[in-house]
Amino acid sequence: MTFVLALTLGLVAALGFAGTANAAEAAASGKDLAPLNIELPQPYFGGTPLDYFSPNLEEKSFKPRDPFMAPKDATNLSKGKKVTSSDTNPKLGKLTFVTDGEKGYQNDYLLELGTGVQWVQIDLEKTAEIYAVLVWHFHAADRVYFDVVVQVSDDPEFTKGVTTIYNNDIDNSAGLGVGKDKEYIETYEGRLIDAKGAKGRYVRLYSKGNTTDDTNHYTEVEVYGK
């Protein structure tokens, strides 16, 4: 069962969301905007309460996420696309789980990578203008993943032309530079990252363990652009 967020642009304007930063940037570029149509998985009500504090931890919100405005012709470019990883022998699941469209909280949809810094990489097959990256690591319980870094590049090795669109590694423990973004608690809504039109063929997502153990997980990643 899924919960479908499909709000019309008129409704969004009526609710006062049209003035969001990403909308303003896109409007300034003369693009026709609409809220992304994001299908959310069923929420899970249970799990062990989170016992974790960090000065960089974002306060958990109990309100639905605001609609995200993007050019009207933006679509999910990552659906069914090839996924590679730093861990070629996952402990649980398959790399294809990352882009197969299944994002339920059950273990049937969960990819588990090894300990330490690990990444998954999506090949969009051609250079794209990316507006948002939506990632679900795990949402069967409250959990925080460490050193979440998301990058875009045309180089599959990520050695040149790299644009970092999210980095919450405030002490550079992952070795990718110091970030200024917040840690966050995983939920069924996933984490929506404003990519601000970054261009590239490949999207790479890093993490380094979580508040439950040192392994890394993905349920789904969606890349919206054109």
93-129 pLDDT tens trace: 999 999 999 999 999 999 999 999 999 999 999 999 9
**Exposed/middle/buried for residue 21 (C-beta within 10 Å: 0-12, 13-18, 19+):** exposed
Which residue in 48, 41, 2, 43 sits closest to 141, CA to CA?
A: 48
Tell whether the model's pLDDT for residue 198 goes beyond 70: yes
Cα 32 from Cα 103, distance rounded (Å) = 29
Cα 81 from Cα 144, distance rounded (Å) = 26
Name the DSSP class of 99: G
Beta-carbon neighbour count of residue 214 at 10 Å?
11
Which of 25-39, 46-60, 148-162 has the weakest average pLDDT? Answer: 25-39
- Read off the pTM: 0.88
The tokens 């069924």 sit on which residue? Answer: 188
Backbone dihedral angles phi then psi of residue 141, each to the nearest 5 degrees: -170, 165
DSSP H helical ranges for the chain: 9-15, 21-28
Cα 204 from Cα 4, distance rounded (Å) = 27
Write out the two tokens for 208: 């380094």
Which residue in 111, 137, 126 sits closest to 81, CA to CA?
A: 126
pLDDT in tens, 138-167: 999 999 999 999 999 999 999 999 999 999
The tokens 């990718």 sit on which residue? Answer: 176
Mean pLDDT rounded to a whole number for the chain: 90
Write out the two tokens for 5: 């967020």
Cα 7 from Cα 18, distance rounded (Å) = 12
Chain-centre distance of CA 132, in angstroms? 8
Name the DSSP class of 154: S
